[in-house]
Amino acid sequence: MTTSDRTVVITGGTSGLGRECARAIAADPRWTVVVTGRDAERARAEAAAIGAQAATLDLGALASVAHFADEFRTSGLPPLRALVCNAGLQYTRRTYTEDGVEATFGVNHLGHLALVQALLGDLIAPARIVFVGSATHDPKQITGMPDPLDTNVRELAYPPKPTESAPRDGRRRYSTSKLANLQTTYELARQFEARGITVNAFDPGLMPGTGLARDSGSVAQLWWHTVARGLVLLPGVNTPRRSGKALARLVTDPSLAEVTGRYFVGRTAKPSSKASYDQDAQHALYTDSLELLGELTR
């Protein structure tokens, strides 16, 4: 007999940070943990290994987002108390989603916003949403990544021809998508406060060895899976397990029940970049993204 009385959905729970966050929360019998992955078989196997449930979700296909939300609604699972928007990827070549949107923006930002909208009626207060960001959103942090673009939703969704090398263009789109995660966090935190839903962002630090480099060239992959793993004793470098526990805490720690609109680097709340606090930019990103989602699902 299940003792669980609450559910958390973790996107991208089949690998890296998401899997470790899921593992940490699933150890508490009060929680039913749903991990999502694009491949149903793989998601089932990964979920079974950590005591979670599996669901299929492709954030690059808005029909899949709608289907996932419909399935969740009829699943009979305990009330949805938390959503962790963790899935993310980084392309080194221009790639487009099933809906024809540049895929880094489409998956990391637009798909997650669509998911939040689709599950909003199912989130029962007190509830928590966490977006996984990254230090790469902040030009003041030394991450080796290009600064985010300062542009509008249309240009992010349908970018002009790259003016820099494909890998650099892809990395810039990644840091831009992580800025969008922060902007969305702050916008939704304001909007959802009266509903009893908190919204926070999380930076796991550098976690070498995860699947994030899967689209990189063979030399970069070799570095990511070997040499970079040895950096784990340096400040700001973490294992997925350590960061997964810190991410899980944002979902489960009772002392954070009222905390909203904050950016956590590991276990510590810190300021994010100057650009991320621009409320006009946050609101424009939100409204223009919803308009685009409306067009894409019409």
Ligand X SMILES: NC(=O)c1ccc[n+]([C@@H]2O[C@H](COP(=O)([O-])OP(=O)(O)OC[C@H]3O[C@@H](n4cnc5c(N)ncnc54)[C@H](OP(=O)(O)O)[C@@H]3O)[C@@H](O)[C@H]2O)c1
Active site residues per annotation: 174
Give every CB contact of residue 14 below 8 A, 6+ residues apart in sequence.
35, 36, 37, 39, 42, 43, 46, 47
Q: CA quadruple 101, 103, 109, 115: dihedral positive or negative?
A: positive
Question: Per the omega criterion (within 30 degrees of 0), is the bond before 271 cis?
Answer: no
Closer by beta carbon to ligand X, 37 or else 159: 37
When binding is defined by CB under 6 A, the residue of 4, 28, 38, 236 that contacts ligand X is 38
244 binds ligand X (CB under 6 A): no
251 binds ligand X (CB under 6 A): no
Enter the tokens of residue 133: 């960001």
Give dist(CA 139, CA 141) in Å, integer.
5
When binding is defined by CB under 6 A, the residue of 148, 159, 170, 204 that contacts ligand X is 204
Q: Write a three-state SS string for 125-180.
A: EEEEEEEECCHHHCCCCCCCCCCCCCCCHHHHHCCCCCCCCHHHHHHHHHHHHHHH
Contact in structure between 47 and 53 (CB atoms under 8 Å): yes
Give dist(CA 210, CA 265) in Å, integer.
18
Enter the tokens of residue 250: 């944002």
When binding is defined by CB under 6 A, the residue of 27, 29, 30, 39 that contacts ligand X is 39
Minimal distance, residue 259 CB to ligand X, in Å: 20
Minimal distance, residue 16 CB to ligand X, in Å: 2
229 binds ligand X (CB under 6 A): no
x/- letters, 136..175, toward ligand X (CB under 6 A): ----------------------------------------
When binding is defined by CB under 6 A, the residue of 139, 162, 167, 211 that contacts ligand X is 211
Closer by beta carbon to ligand X, 49 or else 257: 49
80 binds ligand X (CB under 6 A): no
Residues 47-66 that bind ligand X (CB under 6 A): 57-60
Which positions lie near ligand X, rule CB under 6 A?
11-12, 14-18, 37-39, 42, 57-60, 86-89, 107, 132, 134, 204, 206-207, 210-212, 240
